[in-house]
Structure 1
Amino acid sequence: MGGIASVPGRGRKASPQEQKKARGNPGKRPLNNHVPEFSEVTNIDVPDYMENMEFASVMWKSIVPELCAQKVLRITDMHNVEAFCMAYENWRKAQREVAFHGIVVEGAMGGPIKNPALTASNEAARQMAMFGAMLGLDPSSRARLTGAGQKKKGNAFAGVLNM
């Protein structure tokens, strides 16, 4: 197949231009300067429906100021922030259920079955990983954003020759 995705949507996702610029354009390929400019979010309150939620509102209040401070949050990213916070809410609630009832519960027929909260927890964790990566909330996404691991100029062993 020669590195070309055989089905649309599969394969490696293209990095946004802001990420490429932030990394110093490591591939040295020409950047597309005709990308749409979306409004930067400088501060946004917790959505009304999320205000009374136990965990989602706390997560919102902790990540939104950080993303705004890094100037990476755009108005078009807000649905990802909401989805991340809701996934966190669901994950915490599912984990509470597992902690309270255990990993095995009694089924409808009286026999032991896997706690359904485990499935909800796993799905919420997958969603958090996906939306968190889109927002740069995990270490590997942050490294791609900041260009971590860039090679230092100079020879690390130059001092050895002068001994």
Structure 2
Amino acid sequence: MGNAAPVRASGGGRKRKTSMQHQSSISRIAPPPELIDETAVRVWKSQSKILIERGTFEPEDAPLLLAYCNSFAMMIKAELKITDWAADDGGMVVMTGDGSIKKSPYVAVRNDCIAQLTRTGSLLGLDPLTRLRMLGAGNGDGGSEEGNEFDEF
């Protein structure tokens, strides 16, 4: 008979991790002094707690969370300027020196902040799609066998 290759049972491959299998090496992390205001501090406290409870946050992730929190705070500041119609520099448009109007620079700031939130939030697992992938949710027994080419890494 010789050396027959072992036969692997169906479903005998890697197991999906569940949220119960994750555990962060820390139980809390203080807000860093680089946070730009109280809004950023509040976001830090809430999001770091969620990520630690989920078991997906480590101290080396702190710079990403810092960028996320500061972007959120700057987005709120820009929103306040955009919606302050009474201020000379408020609103969605501003008057130029020649009397024409242009899009407010605060709209561009808000859009940049949203892009930064999207990128850093995805890296941290703070968006629904990434969270599903990170935690393996929605991949029960009746699901497809398809996986990501990087799943085994």
Is the TM-score greater than 0.5?
yes
User: Residue in 1 aligned with 2:7?
Assistant: none
1:40 equivalenced with 2:22 (yes/no): no
Segments of 4+ moved more than 4 angstroms: none
User: Residue in 1 aligned with 2:108?
Assistant: 119
Match of residue 89, structure 1, among 54, 62, 73? 73
Give aligned-pair identity as a percent: 29
In structure 1, runs of 5+ residues without a counterpart are 1-19, 24-38, 155-163
1:80 equivalenced with 2:64 (yes/no): yes
The one-letter code sitting in structure 2 at the alignment partner of 1:68 is I
The number of residues matched between the two structures is 119
TM-score calculated relative to the size of structure 2:
0.71
The DSSP-based 3-state class of the residue aligned with 1:48 is coil
Which protein is bigger by CA-based radius of gyration?
2
The one-letter code sitting in structure 2 at the alignment partner of 1:96 is L
**Structure-2 change in CA distance of 1:105 and 1:69 (3 Å):** same
* CA distance in 1: counterparts of 2:102 and 2:142, whole angstroms: 58
The DSSP-based 3-state class of the residue aligned with 2:138 is coil
Task: Compute the displacement of 1:150 (Å).
Answer: 1.1
* CA distance in 2: counterparts of 1:123 and 1:40, whole angstroms: 32
1:145 equivalenced with 2:134 (yes/no): yes
1:106 equivalenced with 2:95 (yes/no): yes
RMSD, matched Cα: 2.1
1:132 equivalenced with 2:114 (yes/no): no
TM-score calculated relative to the size of structure 1:
0.66
Task: Compute the displacement of 1:21 (Å).
Answer: 5.3
The one-letter code sitting in structure 1 at the alignment partner of 2:124 is L
User: Residue in 2 aligned with 1:65?
Assistant: 49
* CA distance in 2: counterparts of 1:87 and 1:116, whole angstroms: 16
* CA distance in 2: counterparts of 1:40 and 1:70, whole angstroms: 12
Task: Compute the displacement of 1:109 (Å).
Answer: 2.4
C-alpha contact 2:16 2:136 (8 A) present in aligned 1: no
Task: Compute the displacement of 1:144 (Å).
Answer: 0.3
* CA distance in 1: counterparts of 2:99 and 2:40, whole angstroms: 35
* CA distance in 1: counterparts of 2:68 and 2:26, whole angstroms: 17
In structure 2, runs of 5+ residues without a counterpart are 1-14, 19-23, 85-89, 144-153
The one-letter code sitting in structure 1 at the alignment partner of 2:97 is A
